Amino acid sequence: MSLKHNFRKLTIWQEARKLVSETYLITSKFPKSEIYGLSNQLQRCAVSIASNIAEGSARNSDKHFVQYLETALGSTFEWETQLICANDLKYIDDLIFERNLQTIHKLQAMISNFKNTLN
């Protein structure tokens, strides 16, 4: 099957995968009481970002791909909010928080810019 956009070659997908790994690393240090709470939410959100990029790349038109990119972008803002909550609760220190805040802002800009090239 030939895809118009091979998600594996997209930098936004590659960066989203890195976010998944980082998210699992961060949440592994959360209190066990958060296993079904904030840990799970952050993990699902990170996976959703990469998954929506991949799923959208299989769509026949750029218009449909853009819809998936918008969903992925929305998930980045959800993830950012959850990261802020984790910092508020002192589950992560300020250094990890700031580093990951920069990462998510970079990914938000990348997805947004790519989406704009398709419009």
Percent of the chain predicted with pLDDT > 70: 97
Q: For the segment 61-100, what is each residue's pLDDT rounded down to a tens digit? A: 899 999 999 999 999 999 999 999 999 999 999 999 999 9
- How does the average pLDDT of the chain come out, rounded? 95
Any idea how long the chain is?
Answer: 119
Q: In the Cβ-directed half-sphere of 115, how many Cα atoms lie within 13 Å?
A: 19
**Domains along the sequence of the chain with CATH:** 16-118 (1.20.1440.60)
For the cut 90, the answer to whether the pLDDT of residue 1 exceeds it is no
Please give the Cα distance from 54 to 8 (Å, whole number).
8
pTM above 0.85, yes or no: yes
pLDDT at position 3: 61
On whether the CB atoms of residues 26 and 42 are closer than 8 A, the answer is yes
For the cut 60, the answer to whether the pLDDT of residue 41 exceeds it is yes
pLDDT at position 5: 83
For the cut 70, the answer to whether the pLDDT of residue 57 exceeds it is yes
pLDDT at position 113: 97
